[in-house]
Amino acid sequence: MYEQVIEEAKQFIETLFAGNSGGHDVGHTLRVYQNAITIAQKETDCRMEIVALAALLHDVDDHKLFSTENNENARRFLKQQQVKQEDIESICQIINLVSFSKNKGRHPDTLEGRIVQDGDRLDAIGAIGIARAFAYGGEHGRTMESSIDHFHEKLLLLKDEMNTETGKEIAENRHQFLLDFLCEYEKEMKGL
Ligand code: ADP
Ligand code: NI
């Protein structure tokens, strides 16, 4: 039903995130979308189009990038596309529950929300998670050591916060990659 809206959403984020690099570029959103679709395909009774739209729009009102209130960017886009009001509400509810920093320890109560949250978290671990952590550090003028601290404060905890079986499986490999990286990093730092 919303096939065209999903295509339009890809265009919308392409434009909206133009000029951003590192942690929150359009690549991040597209990977979260892909992760979420991969997970959703393994679930039964899941509203794929809601998952797709929530994933594509999950960062369009992120306060670190935009000073919008009440999901203004997402709502304006979805209204323009004539998405049903109740679906707009479902999508915004998911978006608001996805972020780890805003919702420490909270899990969305819908399957669709849980899937998008897993999709977002998967992009913070593994090789991409490592690249993003150092890109974030660079953007904020921080030391490499501060990105390593972030591994311990956040990234290494994500594996146990996954909602879905598919998410857990993918997270397991990516988590191991973080551990291997840290091990090698510490070894090289010691001159070994
Ligand atoms: P979200 O809003 O989805 O919770 P963030 O905006 O906090 O995610 O983070 C975006 C990216 O930047 C993630 O890959 C995250 O690991 C990384 N990041 C966030 N804070 C830090 C930090 N203090 N040091 C290094 N990387 C960070
Ligand atoms: Ni995100």
Tell me the CA distances in angstroms from 147 to 114, 154, 161, 170, 182, one per residue in order.
27, 10, 20, 22, 11
What pLDDT is attached to residue 101? 58
Supply 64's token pair: 């670190």
User: Does residue 192 carry a pLDDT above 90?
Assistant: no
What pLDDT is attached to residue 28? 95
Burial of residue 38 (number of CB atoms within 10 Å: 0-12, 13-18, 19+): middle
Supply 165's token pair: 């079986």
What residues have a C-beta under 5 A from ligand 2, the ion? 59, 120
Q: Please state, rounded to an integer, the average pLDDT across all residues of the chain.
A: 94
Would you say the pTM of this structure is higher than 0.75? yes
pLDDT, tens only, 76-117? 999 999 999 999 999 999 999 986 556 666 789 999 999 999
Measured in angstroms, how far is the CA atom of residue 29 from the centroid of ligand 2? 6
What pLDDT is attached to residue 104? 65
pLDDT interval class at 65 (50, 70, 90): confident
What pLDDT is attached to residue 164? 97
Which residue among 24, 94, 132, 147 has the greatest number of ligand 1 atoms within 8 angstroms of its CB, and so is best to mutate?
132
**120 pocket-lining for ligand 1 (C-beta < 6 Å):** yes
- Kindly report the protein residue whose alpha carbon is nearest to atom 9 of ligand 1: 23
What pLDDT is attached to residue 21? 73
**137 pocket-lining for ligand 1 (C-beta < 6 Å):** yes
